[in-house]
Structure 1
Amino acid sequence: MNLNLQTEQPASLTIIGAGAWGSALVNLAQKAGSRAQLWSRRSFQSLKSVTQDAEVILCATSMKGVNSTIAQLQKISIPETTILVSATKGLDAITMQTPSRLWQTAFPQNPVAVLSGPNLSPEIVQGLPATTAIASTVQAAAEKVQKMFSSDLFRVYVNDDPIGTELGGTLKNVIAIAVGVSDGLQLGTNAKSALITRSLKEIIAVGTHLGGKRETFWGLAGLGDLLATCSSSLSRNYRVGYELAQGKSLATVLDELQGTAEGVNTAHVLLKLAKTQNIQVPICQQVCLLLNDETTPKEALDALMNRELKSEFIK
């Protein structure tokens, strides 16, 4: 596949989704010297006009906007050489598929990549240094996107495991809710460390079962993103858990948030998926019960602490 990597001028990029993440990404790309533009439903220009000549199209919408974005682009003649990048962290409620698999199904001839890592948008907007991963089974596609975003403030690494990279970034949002609850209950550093460590086990169990590589979950899009999201009040998912622990209702918490907490929807899809695949996800299960108002933060803690005793490492 010829991706036309040798161009006389900077590569052209269109980012769909003008939320916090999409806006941060367009600034990063422009800082790296790429010709980048941002599009949303409120834009004056048509989607066709901003994508017809783009070498890379990156979707930074929320999960609920992915299918409609795909449908709109299917009506446009997108060249097979156009690289499609997913920067969405979520699971489709109906198919239980990740965004990149939805994109690849809709555009089977196009190279698809996933961008994910420990990237809190407010810190990036402040100009603080960060790293991320770009993953694709088409190495040339990953390397091209890598060059489009890399700068002295944003270091981009390449890997060949898009599903693992995507699941690491998606599943940690559920765990961030649990860690927010832990901090909201003031359970201390010991409990928080144990929760993150045991949560990583759940992420790896689900991620490898669905085709991700184990080493990916120890990288930037796995452990790296997990630590960032579980360690900062800048994380919307963390704030959901923290506020629930303060006694607020989920409806109130979500109404007060500035943006989408993808972990809320992901938790329910993940639990459904885990049950169909017979994967044990006790932490995710308690998060779902809490989100459904079927348990309290204290009861969820008791349920986890009083599980059957067993070996830490099961062969």
Structure 2
Amino acid sequence: MKIGVIGAGAWGTTLADLLAKKGHAVTLWAYEADLVERMRQNRKNDLYLSGFTLDDKLDFTHDVAEVTSGKELLVLVAPSQVMRHVVRQAEPHIAPGTILVSAAKGIENDSLLPMSEVLREILPAEKFRCLAFLSGPTFAREVAAEMPTAVTVAAADEAVARQVQELFSCHYFRVYRSGDVIGVELGGALKNVIAVAAGICDGLGYGYNARAALISRGLVEMTRIGVAMGAQEKTFHGLSGMGDLVLTCTGDLSRNRTVGLELGRGRKLEDVLSGMRVVAEGLKTALSAYQLAAKLGVETPIINEMYRILYEAKPPRSAVLDLMNRQLKAEQD
């Protein structure tokens, strides 16, 4: 199959390499023209996935038209806040019937839309119907190292979900399928906000009890928002919900947890971000999630405090204290 992958961050590069290893003709698009040249020369992505040699069959481009035209499958791995811009550039070159797989995790700030609704606004109906969403507990470096990993692909059309499931699955990458598009999307987006919070707790030295409580109550808030938007509650108990949440709240490779860890240790957000090359999606998603919960009338105390820490400079210890001193209630309320 002829496949294009838009986005040469660690995850986009890893997915492109996985598909090339399976024998597909894959072209990977990178925003940085100089990175494209280096990948062509040495088969390595030294910016985002250092230490791995990419498959010989993988091709590279800086041209959106080239990565899109004539492709049977297009994987979208641009950061969520620029997805609209990137897909608008690509749309004229996408043929009807091309399968589109979004692997971005986020909620657009201005519109408060998940990626499925962003794409619905951009794509004509004949291009939108072949759309799937890939999400789950994944650190790119572990997948690139061929460590066992399981994810979920969701699509409104089960035939599309089955085709994507078969395309991506291999001996180290197991793909389950789902029909709950919005649930799978929101799990992948909202868990990043809770992961920043988990990092803050660890940075403050609050221990395992606090982390376990945060993960459990964070899942409740994710589920509340999801159900209010029409998702299935059971989706949040699966790979794209609890699975991804646990990974990003506990793993040392989590960018979102790393940002939170530094905030908990007392560093200023701007100082933390100045030393980062890659995007921590949870920072932007915290704003979207806070506004979305308010719009839906959903109670999300952890997300609310994360918004105040990140956007109102509230001291993390004060945020934790306010969470702990909230009015007592039944657990299932």
Q: Distance in 1 between matches of 2:120 and 2:158?
A: 16
1:33 alignment partner, one of 12, 16, 23: 23
Q: Distance in 2 between matches of 1:49 and 1:313?
A: 52
Find out whether 1:183 has 2:196 as its counterpart: no
Aligned to 1:57: 74
Residue 293 of structure 1 deviates from its aligned partner by: 4.4
Aligned to 2:7: 17
**TM-score when scaled to structure 2?**
0.88
Q: Distance in 2 between matches of 1:250 and 1:233?
A: 19
Aligned to 1:82: 98
Q: Distance in 1 between matches of 2:213 and 2:150?
A: 25
Q: For residues 108-127 of structure 1, what are the structure 2 equivalents within 5 Å?
A: 108-110=125-127, 111-127=130-146
Residue 124 of structure 1 deviates from its aligned partner by: 1.6
Q: What residue ranges of structure 1 are gaps of 5+ in the alignment?
A: 1-10
1:21 partner amino acid:
W
CA gap of 1:45–1:229, structure 2 versus 1, over 3 A, is: closer
Aligned to 1:5: none
Residue 139 of structure 1 deviates from its aligned partner by: 1.2
Q: Distance in 1 between matches of 2:25 and 2:235?
A: 30
Verify the 8 A CA contact 1:15 1:39 in the aligned structure 2. yes
1:25 partner amino acid:
L
Q: Distance in 2 between matches of 1:32 and 1:194?
A: 41
Aligned to 1:71: 88
Residue 116 of structure 1 deviates from its aligned partner by: 0.4
Verify the 8 A CA contact 2:201 2:261 in the aligned structure 1. yes
Tell me, what secondary structure is at the counterpart of 1:84? strand
Tell me, what secondary structure is at the counterpart of 2:74? strand
Residue 189 of structure 1 deviates from its aligned partner by: 1.1
Q: Distance in 2 between matches of 1:255 and 1:233?
A: 19
CA RMSD of aligned residues (A): 1.3
**TM-score when scaled to structure 1?**
0.93
Q: Distance in 1 between matches of 2:66 and 2:193?
A: 37
Q: Distance in 1 between matches of 2:159 and 2:25?
A: 19
Aligned to 1:161: 180
Give CA-to-partner distance per residue, 1:134-185, whole Å, 9 cap, x none: 1101111111111221110111111111111010000000000110011111
Aligned to 1:91: 107
2:116 alignment partner, one of 71, 88, 100: 100
Give CA-to-partner distance per residue, 1:85-118, whole Å, 9 cap, x none: 1111111111110112211232222211101000
Verify the 8 A CA contact 2:6 2:67 in the aligned structure 1. no
Tell me, what secondary structure is at the counterpart of 1:15? strand
CA gap of 1:32–1:157, structure 2 versus 1, over 3 A, is: farther
Q: Distance in 1 between matches of 2:247 and 2:277?
A: 19
Q: Distance in 2 between matches of 1:101 and 1:276?
A: 17
Choose 133-142 or 36-45, whichever is displaced more. Answer: 36-45
1:223 partner amino acid:
M
Q: Distance in 2 between matches of 1:262 and 1:49?
A: 27
Aligned to 1:206: 225
Give CA-to-partner distance per residue, 1:267-288, whole Å, 9 cap, x none: 0111111111111110011111
1:151 alignment partner, one of 165, 170, 175: 170
1:39 partner amino acid:
W
Q: Distance in 1 between matches of 2:312 and 2:259?
A: 13
Tell me, what secondary structure is at the counterpart of 1:80? coil
Choose 289-298 or 18-27, whichever is displaced more. Answer: 289-298
Q: Distance in 2 between matches of 1:128 and 1:219?
A: 20
Aligned to 1:311: 330
Aligned to 1:247: 266
Verify the 8 A CA contact 1:34 1:149 in the aligned structure 2. no
Choose 181-190 or 24-33, whichever is displaced more. Answer: 24-33
